Amino acid sequence: MAEDEASGAGAGDSVTEVGSQSWLSRLLGSLIGVLIGFLLVPGAGIGLWWNEGRAVQTARSLAEGEGAVVEVGANPVESANQGRLVHVTGPTSVAGPLRDGEFGVAVEALRLVRKVEMYQWKETKEEETRNRIGGGQDTVTTYKYAKGWYDEAIESQRFREPRNHANPAMPYRNSESVQPSARLGVFTIPQVLLGSLDDDRRLALDEATVDRMGRTLRRPARLVDGVVFAGGDPLTPQVGDLRIGFTYAPVQTVSVIAAQSGSELAPYQTRAGDRLHMIVAGNVPAAAMFKAAEDANTALTWILRGVGALVMFIGFALVLRPLSVLASLLPLLGDIVGAGTGLVSLTLTALLAPIVIAVAWLAYRPIVGIAILSVGLIVAFAFGRLSHRRAAGGAVPAATAAPNPVSR
């Protein structure tokens, strides 16, 4: 069983605890970890398989869309293009300004975003483990507390040491308003499409708006670096002080790729299974928009591959962890076995993850699948050779250079 001992707080900004765990308790915990590992490994494989299917489907949808898209003007609506994927560029128009209901800030824009930050305490945790002879382990945990600006409420009641680190309730939150009836020529732009437009700019606020916001907040307010600071001294903020700023996407020329559905620019359903719906600021050719979407798909695919491989590695490490715990009756031996199981976990991941990826791709793009499988085999072979060399090179010195505990 684990035994926790609080060793005190330092100047109210940190708390250190020492937890002790017996060898038997660690062994039982590692056996539970084996069960979790047996779930993580196949789960990671399923995730990798799904990601490859998603990537191929998206790539096919983009290729299909790029081959089917037609250029149309913003005026008039041509019935011959009904249901087709169109690329249209032109200036936008709106029926009226967007307004922040709580602070009365208004601007003629496609989207208005309010960002609220509050000066709060935040807890971070650092752990250091120390192995003992006999397989026990001490864990030194330090909880540190620091103040900073955060746009999400931090629940201080969940802190390890909530005393003197209390955060008040956050009175206002982030919000976003999107034009309900923006138009591109004669076409209506759906709100969901406007919400994905990546072209926010800082909204300049005048003194009258700042004064009105101060009255709403019921505290002194001033403009500091383009945002409203509500509190005492902005150079020495206190917990609970607020910073509120606004950004907006201006009414401007945009380029859209979508299905022409009457006078609306709606999502386009591809035969591959995706729905194409893209918007960017400025006069951007369709080819450039598809290229950006392809690059984004590639980046997301590699990110998810990395996440899947990491989860698989953690799963293998959990499955093999009882070996290092068993060996930790002698701390040095436990460290050696732990390093070995880590290398084995890495080797297994380097072998299995590319196999899953390659098999998924073989169904769609055999040449690419064979290439990925070959790379995985080469990497796994290299790790295996490295492990073998380390084991062979370290066996003799370990025996001849072992310290004599009696002579000390």
* C-alpha–C-alpha distance, residues 339 and 328, integer Å: 12
Least Cα distance to 200 among 135, 131, 247, 257 occurs for 247
Q: Give me the amino acid identity at 140.
A: V
Give residues with Cβ within 8 angstroms of 263, minimum separation 6: 77, 186, 187, 188
* End-to-end CA, the chain: 33
Quick check: helix, strand or coil at residue 16?
strand
Cβ 263 vs Cβ 77: under 8 Å: yes
* C-alpha–C-alpha distance, residues 254 and 90, integer Å: 6
**What are the b/e assignments for 72-102, b being 16+ CB within 10 Å?**
bebeebeeeeeeebbbbbbebebeeebebeb
Cβ 356 vs Cβ 49: under 8 Å: yes
Q: What is this structure's pTM?
A: 0.78
Angle at alpha carbon of residue 308, lines to 303 and 314, rounded to 5°: 125
Query: In this structure, what DSSP letter does residue 161 have?
Result: S
Q: Give me the amino acid identity at 122.
A: K
φ, ψ dihedrals at 365, nearest 5°: -135, 85
**What are the b/e assignments for 281-306, b being 16+ CB within 10 Å?**
beebebeebbeebeeebeeebeebbe
pLDDT in tens, 65-116: 999 999 999 888 888 999 999 999 999 999 999 999 999 999 999 999 999 9
In the chain, what is the greatest distance between 2 CA atoms, to the nearest angstrom? 96
**CA distances (Å), origin 5, targets 137, 157, 332:** 14, 21, 26
Cβ 68 vs Cβ 85: under 8 Å: yes
Query: In this structure, what DSSP letter does residue 180 have?
Result: S
Cβ 353 vs Cβ 40: under 8 Å: no
Half-sphere exposure of 24 (CA within 13 A, CB side): 1
The residue to which tokens 């309900």 are assigned: 180
Identify the pLDDT of residue 398. 42
* C-alpha–C-alpha distance, residues 160 and 167, integer Å: 14
Give residues with Cβ within 8 angstroms of 265, minimum separation 6: 86, 88, 184, 187, 188, 189, 190, 193, 256, 258, 259, 277
DSSP lists the bridge partners of residue 110 as: none
Least Cα distance to 256 among 110, 90, 109 occurs for 90
Cβ 274 vs Cβ 293: under 8 Å: no
Element (H or E) spanning 266, and its range? strand 264-266
**Per-residue pLDDT for the chain (408 aa), expressed as one digit of tens each?**
333 333 333 345 888 888 887 878 888 888 999 999 999 999 999 999 999 989 989 999 999 999 999 999 988 888 899 999 999 999 999 999 999 999 999 999 999 999 999 999 999 999 888 877 777 778 889 999 999 999 999 999 999 999 999 999 999 999 999 999 899 999 999 999 999 998 899 999 999 999 999 999 999 999 999 999 999 999 999 999 999 999 999 999 999 999 999 999 999 999 999 999 999 999 999 999 999 999 999 999 999 999 999 999 999 999 999 988 888 878 788 788 888 999 999 999 998 998 888 888 777 667 666 776 677 677 767 776 776 676 665 544 444 333 443 333
Cβ 262 vs Cβ 121: under 8 Å: no
pLDDT in tens, 300-355: 999 999 999 999 999 999 999 998 888 887 878 878 888 899 999 999 999 899 88
